[in-house]
Amino acid sequence: AQTVTQSQPEMSVQEAETVTLSCTYDTSESDYYLFWYKQPPSRQMILVIRQEAYKQQNATENRFSVNFQKAAKSFSLKISDSQLGDAAMYFCAYRSIPNQGGSEKLVFGKGTKLTVNP
Amino acid sequence: NAGVTQTPKFRVLKTGQSMTLLCAQDMNHEYMYWYRQDPGMGLRLIHYSVGEGTTAKGEVPDGYNVSRLKKQNFLLGLESAAPSQTSVYFCASSETAGFKKLFFGSGTQLSVL
């Protein structure tokens, strides 16, 4: 079974600085998808960024980018120019591809709470 | 578009009582999921459905039942609530599998006394 590990329960960053949240996963599958979701205090889950494992190029979305290291099974999220609105819980998630025989599941890590200091 | 709507938003139950949580989506999505979120545990999958009339067990299915009689609705039932089921429950839907993002409801805070 796939597992997702976020080793940093809490992180903090100064406004305008850069922070990197780590995520590692365990899988025997060769192709899959990876996601970062944000959960602000409103509790709403918001997709931040996603990566297809067969693509070597790291995904970017404005101030958010990932460092995807497939061999190391690592998928870290970098937030540049941090803003107060970035304060939230961040969840890393792994999703199998059903047509490869994997069951349809989206597995989440336990989350990292990010605090942004003014 | 309302997206994914969960009802109720809050509920307090006594041990042994039953209840049903309703999830409704208006995006014609095939896939729907029920997760529970507990402090320090992230989101754990309870049950999911890949289409109308189908359901499957997730990581933590014990004590819960689900039904997907209509494509737009996914019901989560607790037949005999236990304090261990105190949690925030999230419903989510997705157009298909794979790279499609999940759309989440706003959650249901359930307390079992």
pLDDT digits (tens, 9 = 90+) for B46-57: 999 989 999 999
* Consecutive H or E run containing A86: none
In percent, the amount of chain B with pLDDT more than 90 equals 84
Query: What's the average model confidence in pLDDT over B23-40?
Result: 94
What's the rounded Cα separation, in Å, for the pair A13 and B23? 36
Residues β-bridged to residue B112? B13
B41 residue type, one letter: M
Task: Give the per-residue pLDDT at A102.
Answer: 46
Query: Most B CBs within 10 Å: which of A106, A107, A110, as the mutation test of the B interface?
Result: A106
Burial class of residue A94 in the structure, from the number of CB atoms within 10 Å of its CB (0-12 exposed, 13-18 middle, 19+ buried): buried
Task: Give the per-residue pLDDT at A99.
Answer: 59
Nearest CA-CA distance, residue B61 and chain A, Å: 13
Helix (H, G, I), strand (E, B) or coil at A41: coil
Query: Most A CBs within 10 Å: which of B4, B101, B106, as the mutation test of the A interface?
Result: B101
pLDDT in tens, A4-16: 999 999 999 999 9
- Residues in chain A closer than 8 A to B40 (CB atoms): 9, 110
Query: What's the average model confidence in pLDDT over B11-24?
Result: 97
Task: Give the per-residue pLDDT at B106.
Answer: 93
Task: Give the per-residue pLDDT at B5.
Answer: 96
pLDDT in tens, B82-91: 999 999 999 9
Give every residue of chain A whose pLDDT is below 50, as ranges. 100-102
pLDDT band at B1 (very low <50, low <70, confident <90, very high): low
Task: Give the per-residue pLDDT at A103.
Answer: 60
- Contact state of B106 with A109 under an 8 Å Cβ cutoff: no
Task: Give the per-residue pLDDT at B96.
Answer: 78
Task: Give the per-residue pLDDT at B83.
Answer: 96
Task: Give the per-residue pLDDT at B98.
Answer: 74
Whole-number Cα distances in Å, B54 to A5, A94, B4, B31, B49:
30, 23, 19, 10, 6
Nearest CA-CA distance, residue A69 and chain B, Å: 18
